[in-house]
């Protein structure tokens, strides 16, 4: 009997230093418990790395490597290649924030996917650089207040739109890419399990509300995360080989105001003419995402585009097969 079966074992254990209500800590706990301790975890610099490995201590009960901000996917590529060279099938998992994914880590991630490494890359998307004091990232939605996009006389917060990273990643036509969030655990679990059942590069973008940076009540992390989905601002989707193969439909659409009024990062938008324009823009973006993925349609049939299901083999390549099937 494995000694780990005799007591409760979490890959990310208690005693770390996350803020209370931290969506990233919840998401990492959920994801790593589904994958389990028999994996190699590579962690880019960011809140998750800092609050779990404080001053010679670690909250990780699994093999865990800290990489720099930019190169987590390159480190994972090397680990995976070494595993393969040694005939081992140990899962390799990257964890990174949106800064380490959308911005500084993007070229390494693109290279890892293009080379077909057998790695799951998980982005805990809290929509800013939280670890260093809530600076805007390319994941921060427009009109949000951060320390580097302060609203004032000349601006209503961040000028630029949130980068559509799932589309960029899916454009690599890799086996699996999906979005998830902490409010929908069964959906998150199914997506992690599906990702782990496949070979090749896989990607999960997990929306992870940050009470400190989003300035919401720490007790409302799940509610905020659910509203991101129900408003259409953060669609839950799955893409295989570049094509949409699944969406979580909505019974009804909630107005974006229901979501943004819970968060201090949007507070400056209420009560001003310019703010009202930005709220309408956020609503238009949510409406467009709902139309794009058919979230209010009852019967859209998603099928994988077979033209994209190219079997890639050989050095660094991957085949579109489930783990355990012969290649
Ligand atoms: C190349 C480089 N630029 C900047 C930094 C400083 N830095 C460390 S963590 C971080 C922000 C991390 O943000 P994100 O990846 O979104 O993770 P979060 O802390 O929000 O979870 C920054 C800017 C760095 N370590 N390396
Ligand atoms: S700053 Fe945000 S992401 Fe970082 S530990 Fe606190 S709640 Fe979590």
The 10s digit of each residue's pLDDT in 240-282 is 999 999 999 999 999 999 999 999 999 999 999 999 999 999 9
Q: Which of 211, 216, 218 to mutate to test the pocket of ligand 2 (most atoms within 8 A of CB)?
A: 211
Close Cβ partners of 243 (under 8 Å, ≥ 6 residues apart)? 302, 303, 304, 305, 308
CA 190-195-198 angle, to 5 degrees, is 125
Q: What are phi and psi of 308, to 5 degrees?
A: -90, -5
Q: Please tell me the distance from the alpha carbon of residue 112 to that of residue 9, in angstroms, as a whole number.
A: 31
Domains and CATH numbers, the chain: 3-301 (3.40.50.970)
Residue 126 CA, ligand 2 centroid: distance in Å: 8
User: What is the reported pTM?
Assistant: 0.92
User: Which helix (H) or strand (E) segment is 209 a member of?
Assistant: none
The 10s digit of each residue's pLDDT in 290-321 is 999 999 987 666 555 444 444 333 333 333 44
| Cβ < 6 A, ligand 1 pocket | 24, 45-48, 69-70, 96-100, 104, 126, 129-132, 137
Residue 148 CA, ligand 1 centroid: distance in Å: 14
5 pLDDT band (50/70/90 cuts)?
A: low
The ligand placed nearest to the CA atom of residue 25 is 2
The ligand placed nearest to the CA atom of residue 140 is 1
């Amino acid at each position: 009997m494995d000694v780990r079966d005799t007591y409760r074992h979490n890959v990310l254990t208690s005693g770390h230093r996350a803020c209370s209500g931290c969506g990233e800590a919840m998401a990492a706990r959920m994801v790593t418990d589904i994958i389990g301790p028999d994996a190699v975890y590579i962690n880019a610099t960011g809140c998750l790395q800092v609050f779990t490995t404080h001053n010679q201590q670690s909250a990780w009960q699994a093999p865990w490597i800290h990489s720099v901000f930019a190169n987590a996917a390159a480190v994972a590529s090397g680990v995976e290649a070494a595993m393969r060279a040694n005939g081992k099938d140990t899962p390799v998992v990257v964890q990174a924030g949106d800064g380490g994914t959308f911005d500084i880590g993007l070229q390494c991630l693109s290279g890892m996917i293009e080379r077909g490494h057998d790695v799951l890359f998980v982005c805990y998307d809290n929509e800013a650089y939280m670890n260093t004091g809530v600076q805007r990232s390319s994941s921060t939605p427009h009109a949000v207040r951060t320390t580097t996009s302060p609203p004032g006389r000349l601006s209503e917060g961040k000028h630029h739109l949130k980068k559509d990273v799932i589309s960029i990643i899916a454009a690599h036509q890799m086996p699996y890419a999906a979005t998830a969030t902490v409010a929908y655990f069964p959906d998150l679990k199914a997506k992690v399990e599906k990702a782990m059942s496949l070979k090749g590069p896989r990607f999960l973008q997990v929306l992870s509300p940050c009470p400190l940076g989003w300035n919401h009540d720490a007790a409302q992390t799940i509610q905020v995360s659910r509203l991101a989905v129900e408003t259409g601002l953060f669609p839950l989707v799955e893409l295989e080989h570049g094509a949409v193969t699944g969406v979580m439909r909505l019974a009804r659409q909630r107005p974006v105001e229901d979501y943004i009024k819970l968060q201090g990062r949007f507070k400056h938008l209420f009560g001003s003419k310019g703010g009202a324009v930005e709220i309408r823009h956020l609503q238009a973006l949510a409406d467009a995402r709902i139309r794009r993925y058919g979230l209010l349609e009852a019967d859209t049939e998603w099928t994988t585009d077979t033209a994209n299901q190219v079997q890639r083999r050989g050095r660094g390549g991957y085949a579109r097969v489930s783990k355990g099937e012969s290649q």
